[in-house]
């Protein structure tokens, strides 16, 4: 079971990526006809609250790595894939911050589908930047 405490033991982007990598395939069915469950969950107040907490905890950095600031909309990623049964049973995987991490869209896709389309591109922050993500 992947968790945040273990993830922090890895010091490089590549090590953290390898730890989180799932390597599924495009079109792999996760929720199928029960997709409405995860859509409803991701609109809930409890998800929005934990999402904001995780984003602040990780300082808006990809895989919580300082210097890898996310300049687009961040994604809060479940380190262990969830399914409809997790939502129905309100599994600990859903809202426990130890099973959640902030990632960029590009990193999220690479975790799920196995590779980056291009190498990750990060822009260095400068004094006076006003857009956090």
At 114, the pLDDT band (50, 70, 90 cuts) reads confident
Query: Could you tell me the residue ranges of all domains in the chain?
Result: 4-26+34-113
CA dihedral 30, 32, 34, 39 (to 10 degrees): 70
The predicted-structure confidence for 22-58, as pLDDT tens digits, reads as follows 876 544 456 667 778 888 999 999 999 999 999 999 9
Place of tokens 């990632």: 103
Q: Which run of H or of E encompasses 36?
A: helix 35-41
**Residue 49: φ, ψ to 5°:** -65, -50
pLDDT at 27: 47
Q: Mean pLDDT for the chain?
A: 86
Q: Residue 19 and residue 59: Cα distance in Å, rounded?
A: 20
pLDDT at 127: 73
Q: At what angle do helices 105-113 and 13-20 cross, to 10 degrees?
A: 50
Any residues with CB less than 8 A from the CB of 83 and at least 6 apart, and which? 30, 31
Most confident segment among 34-43, 65-74, 113-122: 65-74
Most confident segment among 7-11, 27-31, 86-90: 7-11
Q: Which run of H or of E encompasses 108?
A: helix 105-113
């Amino acid at each position: 079971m992947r968790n945040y405490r273990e993830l922090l033991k890895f010091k490089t982007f590549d090590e953290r990526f390898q730890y989180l990598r799932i390597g599924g395939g495009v079109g792999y069915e996760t929720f199928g006809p029960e997709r409405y469950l995860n859509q409803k969950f991701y609109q809930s107040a409890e998800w929005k609250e934990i999402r904001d907490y995780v984003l602040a905890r990780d300082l808006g950095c990809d895989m919580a790595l300082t210097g890898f600031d996310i300049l687009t909309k961040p994604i809060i990623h479940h380190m262990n894939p969830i399914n409809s049964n997790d939502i129905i049973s309100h599994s600990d995987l859903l809202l426990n911050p130890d099973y959640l991490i902030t990632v960029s869209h590009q990193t999220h896709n690479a975790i799920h589908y196995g590779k980056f389309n291009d190498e990750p591109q990060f822009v260095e922050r400068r004094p006076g930047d006003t857009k956090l993500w």
